[in-house]
């Protein structure tokens, strides 16, 4: 499968997950995504535009973005990556489930692929500057119930690694790229180290 990205042709490799992450590095191709066969879950998405290092993002869950198109959140992530001088972006999520409505997360069994997803997140944090941007997952009761085990796994996977945020909420959660109103993140924002301790304390 191929497509044009910035005037260049990209061949999409669908990568095989292993216990320690993806079996080969997705930055070998210009654009692509790794889904499970039924495409209900997306484990990675990437875009490349130069040979410079990629900027990583850990967001909440995938929406409509795939090998061929980006949603509004990922367009903003790509804009930050370009403006900061990175050569691409790589996206992972707390929940791999593809859903345009966050409440759809409640009807899905997330346990089956949780270990695989956490391993991919650790791999990305080791290879890139990883920005956390999943927003506040712990205030709404229904979302807290779903997010707590996933965040516990992810925090464990990130142990000993440095991660970053572009901004934080009033309760210390990493802000979502499309946060609105007073929570809006300026286009000029730069990654700053994010301490996981306050998040761990809320789990």
Percent pLDDT > 70 in the chain is 86
Residue 1 confidence class, pLDDT cut points 50, 70, 90: very low
Listed range (30-39, 53-62, 86-95) with the worst mean pLDDT: 30-39
Distance, CA of 134 to CA of 122 (rounded, Å): 16
Q: In 97-198, which ranges are E strands?
A: 129-132, 163-165, 192-194
pLDDT digits (tens, 9 = 90+) for 139-186: 999 999 999 999 999 999 999 999 999 999 998 999 999 999 999 999
**H or E element, residue 145:** helix 141-157
Q: What is the mean pLDDT of the chain?
A: 86
pTM of this structure = 0.86
Domain ranges for the chain: 2-202
Residue 29 confidence class, pLDDT cut points 50, 70, 90: low
Distance, CA of 79 to CA of 65 (rounded, Å): 15
pLDDT digits (tens, 9 = 90+) for 72-90: 999 999 999 999 999 999 9
């Amino acid at each position: 499968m191929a497509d044009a990205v910035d005037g260049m042709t990209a061949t999409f490799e669908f990568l095989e997950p292993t216990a320690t992450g993806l079996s080969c590095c997705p930055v070998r191709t210009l654009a692509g995504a790794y889904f499970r066969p039924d495409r209900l879950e997306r484990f990675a998405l990437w875009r490349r535009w130069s040979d410079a290092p990629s900027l990583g993002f850990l967001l909440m869950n995938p929406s409509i973005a795939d090998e061929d198109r980006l949603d509004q959140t990922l367009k903003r992530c790509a804009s930050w990556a370009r403006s900061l001088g990175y050569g691409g972006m790589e996206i992972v999520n707390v929940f791999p489930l593809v859903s345009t409505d966050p409440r759809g997360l409640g009807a899905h069994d997330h346990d089956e692929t949780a270990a695989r997803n956490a391993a991919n997140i650790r791999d990305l944090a080791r290879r890139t500057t990883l920005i956390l941007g999943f927003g506040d997952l712990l205030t709404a009761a229904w979302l807290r119930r779903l997010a707590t085990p996933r965040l516990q796994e992810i925090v464990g996977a990130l142990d000993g690694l440095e991660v970053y945020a572009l901004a934080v909420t009033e309760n210390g959660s990493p802000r979502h790229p499309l946060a609105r109103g007073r929570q809006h993140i300026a286009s000029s924002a730069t990654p700053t180290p994010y301490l996981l301790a306050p998040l761990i304390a809320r789990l």
